[in-house]
Amino acid sequence: MRHLLSAGDLTRDDATLILDTAEEMRSLADRPIKKLPALRGRTVVNLFFEDSTRTRISFEAAAKRLSADVINFSAKGSSVSKGESLKDTALTLQAMGADGVVCRHGSSGAPHLLATSGWMTGSVVNAGDGTHEHPTQALLDAFTMRRHLGSLEGRRITIVGDVLHSRVARSNVLLLSTLGADVTVVAPPTLLPVGMSSWPCTTSYDLDSVLPKSDAVMMLRVQRERMNDAFFPSAREYSRRYGLDVHRMAQLPDEAIVLHPGPMNRGMEISAQVADSTRSVIVEQVTNGVAIRMAVLYLLLSGSPETSTTSTEEQTA
């Protein structure tokens, strides 16, 4: 594992290794000194071409807790606004000696291009690319679910909302199915992408029929900034049919939890009472995000660059 570009690249062993490592990283939060020396002397560049609060801060906190040097780059206020290409930005990072690059980009596939073009030698972590993937979000969701539900094998997990524009949904479906969960995606027909039949999950248009059979339900944000078309008649109608309010939440089994990748549109896909209820693990997801990103950065960057290897090799080493 040299880069983390897609949740679909992870085998079950890889994913389990990351989750187990994150479990150890999480215990750091209880210590007086929240710092580990694992990445001392390594440089991590947060390369953010798209706005982000929690993902960037989370990666920054993760890298700093592992003692890496962090350079934050956002497209606004950089040479990108003067028209610099991705290639020239990558060459600059290479010249500065970046060991790891955390990349968020509005275009699907940009991190893949960075990783495979040969422009730079560092490890690339995909922090969200267009409407494609967001693997660390899927990992932190799986981690949060595993902490509450135990093994995800055979667990029924429901993902609701704007799947068409959601990189979180795609990464989650791929990862959760790798981990053995039964995933159901619920959305209005207009918000499901073409080719859903090839995804390892089932689909439904009716939230009420799925909720009683869900161990965890993940609400997706309605991404207004990506909506250049009329995908549903009105926000109110969407909220009535696909929003999670207290009445709908009552249909969930007793132990079921509610997740949301954030940022939330309260009153749209999730009501304020649900977001603040005891079933909601939304704040915990943020805490777990730091642990997951520490685990990913540790596993990608701590070893020697020449002998970086997959987790399976390493376990037999």
* Binding segment (CB under 8 A) for other proteins, from list 132-140, 228-236, 258-266, 292-300: 292-300
For the sheet with 257-259, list strands across it. Answer: 202-204, 182-186, 156-160, 216-219, 257-259
Cβ proximity to other proteins, 278 vs 304, nearer residue: 304
Work out the burial of residue 265: count CB atoms within 10 Å of its CB; fewer than 13 is exposed, 13-18 middle, 19 or more buried. middle
Question: Cβ closer to other proteins: 35 or 240?
Answer: 35
Integer Cα distance of 277 and 270 in angstroms: 11
Output the smallest distance, CB 32 to other proteins, in A.
7
The residue count for binding other proteins (CB under 8 A) is: 31
Q: Of 29-37, 79-87, 261-269, 271-279, which part binds other proteins (CB under 8 A)?
A: 29-37
Of the ranges 135-143, 203-211, 244-252, 301-309, which one interacts with other proteins (CB under 8 A)? 301-309
Tell me how far apart the alpha carbons of residues 133 and 125 are, in angstroms, rounded to a whole number: 11
Mapped to the 3 state alphabet, what secondary structure does 241-266 carry? Answer: HHCECHHHHCCCCCCCEEECCCCCCE
**Binding to other proteins, residues 145-184 (CB under 8 A):** none
The verdict on whether residue 262 carries a ligand-binding annotation is yes
C-beta of residue 103 within 8 angstroms of C-beta of residue 77: no
**Rounded to 5°, angle at Cα 62 from 18 and 69:** 125
Q: 47 to 86, contacts with other proteins by CB under 8 A?
A: 66
For position 298 contacting other proteins by CB under 8 A, the verdict is: yes
Out of 4, 7, 17, 211, point to the residue binding other proteins (CB under 8 A): 17
Of the candidates 53, 10, 25, which has an alpha carbon nearest to the alpha carbon of residue 298? 25
Closest CA to 180 of 146, 212, 209, 210: 146
Q: Annotation-wise, does 55 bind a ligand?
A: yes
Asked if 24 interacts with other proteins (CB under 8 A), we say: yes
What x/- string results for residues 247 through 286 when contact with other proteins is judged by CB under 8 A? ----------------------------------------
Q: At a CB cut-off of 8 Å and minimum separation 6, what does 141 contact?
A: 168, 172, 218, 259, 261, 285
Residue 300 binds other proteins (CB under 8 A): yes
The reply, when asked if residue 165 is annotated as ligand binding, is no
111 is in an annotated binding site: no
Asked if 311 touches other proteins (CB under 8 A), the answer is yes
d(CA 111, CA 72): 16
CB of 101 to other proteins, least distance (A): 17
DSSP, collapsed to helix, strand or coil, labels residue 126 as strand
Sheet strands side by side (includes 43-48): 69-74, 43-48, 100-105, 123-129
**Binding-site residue set:** 54-55, 82, 104, 134, 137, 167, 221, 262-263
Per CB under 8 A, residues contacting other proteins are 17, 20-21, 24-25, 27, 31-33, 35-38, 41, 66, 298-304, 307-309, 311, 313-317
What are the binding residues for L-aspartate?
Answer: 82, 167, 221
Instruction: Summarize the annotated binding site for carbamoyl phosphate as residue ranges.
Output: 54-55, 104, 134, 137, 262-263
